[in-house]
Structure 1
Amino acid sequence: MKNLKKKALAGAIAGVFAFGAGFYMAPDATLPTLTMMQAAEAAPQWEQGTITAEGFGTPPMGTYGSKASIMARRAAIVDAQRNLAEQVSGVQVDAETTVQNFVISSDIVKTKVSALIKGAVIVEEQQMPDGSYRVVMSMPMYGMQGLSSAIMPAIRDNTPPAPPPPVISATITAEITTHVQTRGGYTGVIVDASGLGLKPSFSPVIYDTNGRAIYGVSNINYDQAISQGMVGYSTSVSSAQTLPRAGGSPLVIRAVQVRGGNNSTNPVNVVVSVDDGDRILAANAQSSMLMNGNVVFVR
């Protein structure tokens, strides 16, 4: 069940759309109920880097023909924007924070997010036999027209850049150096957290089992984070290896667990062994793959 604050936020944003555009919004009781499949389709699609939502609209009573169709379509657009707002507000920024938290605390972020939702594009539409209308709208998660363009600058204000921690083990450094000399450098890192219940977020962290932060928002080029996100998400190691951000020779690491942050159990962060943390850091010293965001999580 969604909390009242989130519903109020989503409703307020959608209300702005409806009022500003003069749309007719059909009462909720007249709209079809979202099925489980439709709800799943409306969720943020991290692997594709999009957020989509479905909307339904009906024409006002007493309107017919092309005018009824136009007004039903407009109502469906408003409904889809409202559903997008609800989806966006629940997107996880990090283990403790959602987009909703940023919107509530910052008028700048609220304005940007509202504009991005209003700019969402229709990717599918259909007029029903009974005169109602259905649309599917989509907005990108990344890029200058994506949600990251509103969120990452706000994260940067709270997190100054910092270098990754040093490698602990000289043996691991020698291992990676030998690999680079004989087989070439690593082009990225894939952390396999499949089966561990990892949840996606805009600002995840790679920890080692000693609690050392191997990779986080302070280590990345913010322009890269806006354009492609801090990490990519994939459903398997084999599909992760095909992603351009992993490059042709990624270092593949198996996560030992997932975890939340200091004040949350929300499992958006991955944990690797101390030696594997060193391997990531030593490989990064050869290629700067962390700063470039050449990181993929398998979940």
Structure 2
Amino acid sequence: MKGISLLLLGLLACAPVALAETCAGTDCLPKEVKDSCTVSSPSGCIDWEKGIVYATGMGVPNESFKSAAQKRYSAYQAARVVAQRNLLGLIEDINITSTQTVKMGMLENDEINIAIQGKIKHVEEFGKPKEAQDGSTWVTMRMYLRDIVSVMLKNEMFEASDKLPALEKSAATPAAPKPEIEYGGDAKTIYSGLVIDARGSGIKPAMSPKVLNAEGIEVYGSFAIEREFALEYGVASYLKDLKKAKENDRVKGNPLFIKGEAAGGAKGADVKISKEDGELLKELEKSQAFLREARVIIVL
């Protein structure tokens, strides 16, 4: 009797709270997730601002079971398996850099493959399952990009600095935040972060993007970031709204705004900026900490 009671409790715990209308793909994602996603696909989406990958999965009840509770549970378990598979597919397609995807890294390195496959098995469910009128169930799973970044850094798929040179003393002074967005700046002003307006450039998100000057030379990337910040925040985050980027905690205060002029790299994950902005960033890097702390947002 005790075993039966525990089984029933488990079935009830995973059962949907209420019936939901039949949905498909990202339509089954919770509204707050859909609203925050930067990039969407038929099986889920990625919130590049918060660094979270979401995937949905559908399961149908096993009709060989006699009780309604068993059928419901079989649909739920099947949905979890599908969601985990979809999550893996989304993660495999993520750009590590402008030349490599996560899948390429997994194929090249068994340690990366084993680590990511292991993490997929322990991802958490987001929200409550949704049950359709035919008994099929949808679940949403999520995984944090920092869990993937830690694997990539450990296996040297991209690098971050354990210790950067000490910052030079600067005569720069704090400036009052401007109500309107103005592009460009100078080395005499203290900045709280960097916002690159790359709208219209066709740039694709990546875990380790590079900022290139007019000559194609890297002026910002993982090499310029302290390891602890790379692990916690990633190289950059991505938003779709310029005004929201300005108020984002990652750069909030007095961020420097520059234009992203074009996408670079084989997969279009790097962003090219002007010669003047490239020179400014190299100058600011010597005396200000926002670049080494990865306080960078790219607006798509």
Query: TM-score of the superposition, structure 1-length normalised?
Result: 0.76
Tell me whether 1:86 sits opposite 2:89 in the alignment. Answer: yes
> What do the CA deviations read for 1:112-159 (whole angstroms, capped 9, x no partner)?
2112212221113122222221111111112xxx22222232236x64
Deviation at 1:182, TM superposition (A): 6.4
- Residue 187 (structure 1) aligned to one of 149, 173, 192: 192
Matched residue, 2:285:
284
1:269 shift after superposition: 0.8
Distance 2:81 2:280 in 1: 49
User: Are 1:135 and 2:160 matched, yes or no?
Assistant: no
More helix by share: 1
Give yes or no for contact 2:196–2:258 (8 Å, CA) kept in 1. yes
Letter in 2 for 1:67: Q
Equivalent runs, 1:4-43 vs 2, <5 Å: 34=24, 39-40=41-42, 42-43=44-45
In structure 2, the partner of 1:71 is 74
Matched, 1:149 2:150: yes
**Structure 1 match to 2:61:** 59
Following TM superposition, the consecutive aligned residue runs of length 4 or more in structure 1 with deviations greater than 6 angstroms are: none
For residues 143 and 162 of structure 2, the distance between their equivalents in structure 1, rounded to whole angstroms, comes to: 31
On the 8 A contact 2:50/2:237 being kept in 1, the answer is: no
Give 1:110's aligned residue: 113
Q: Which moved more, 1:45-54 or 1:91-100?
A: 45-54
User: Does residue 1:213 correspond to 2:218, yes or no?
Assistant: yes
Q: Distance in 1 between matches of 2:136 and 2:69?
A: 12
Cα offset, 1:274, TM superposition = 1.3
Equivalenced residue count is 249
1:232 aligns with 2:265: no
- In the TM superposition, 1:171-182 aligns within 5 A as 180-181=172-173
Deviations 1:179-238 (CA, angstroms, capped at 9, x unpaired): x23635112111111111111001110111012210112111122111111001111221
Residue 87 of structure 2 aligns to which amino acid in structure 1?
L
1:274–1:41 Cα change, 3 Å: same
Unaligned runs of 5+ in 1: 1-31, 165-176
- Determine the C-alpha separation between the residues in 2 that align with 1:88 and 1:82: 10
Aligned to 1:246: 251
Q: In structure 2, how many angstroms separate the alpha carbons of the residues matched to 1:85 and 1:190?
A: 30
- Residues 42 and 87 of structure 1 are in contact (CA less than 8 Å); yes or no, is this contact kept in structure 2? yes
Instruction: Give the percent of matched residue pairs that are identical in Structure 1 and Structure 2.
Output: 24
Are the aligned partners of 1:44 and 1:91 in contact in 2 as well (CA < 8 Å)? no
Amino acid at match of 1:81: Q
- Which blocks of at least 5 consecutive residues in structure 2 are unaligned? 1-21, 29-40, 165-169, 176-188
Greater mean alpha carbon deviation, residues 98-107 or residues 126-135: 126-135
1:47 match: secondary structure: coil
Matched, 1:126 2:130: yes
Q: Give the SS at the match of 1:66.
A: helix
Please tell me the residue identity of whatever aligns with 1:100: K
Equivalent in the alignment of 2:47: 45
> In the superposition, relative to structure 1, how do residues 162 and 136 fare at CA in structure 2: closer, same or farther (>3 Å)?
closer
Q: 2:183 aligns to what?
A: none
Q: 1:115 to 1:212 in 2, by over 3 A?
A: same
Aligned to 2:228: 223
* Letter aligned with residue 151 of structure 1: M
1:251–1:280 CA contact under 8 A, matched in 2: no
Q: How far, CA to CA, are the matches of 1:291 and 1:200 in structure 2?
A: 20
Distance 1:163 1:106, change over 3 A: same
Map 1:89-100 to 2 at 5 A.
89-100=92-103
Q: Distance in 1 between matches of 2:256 and 2:237?
A: 14
> Normalising to structure 2: TM-score of the pair?
0.75
State the superposition RMSD in angstroms: 2.6
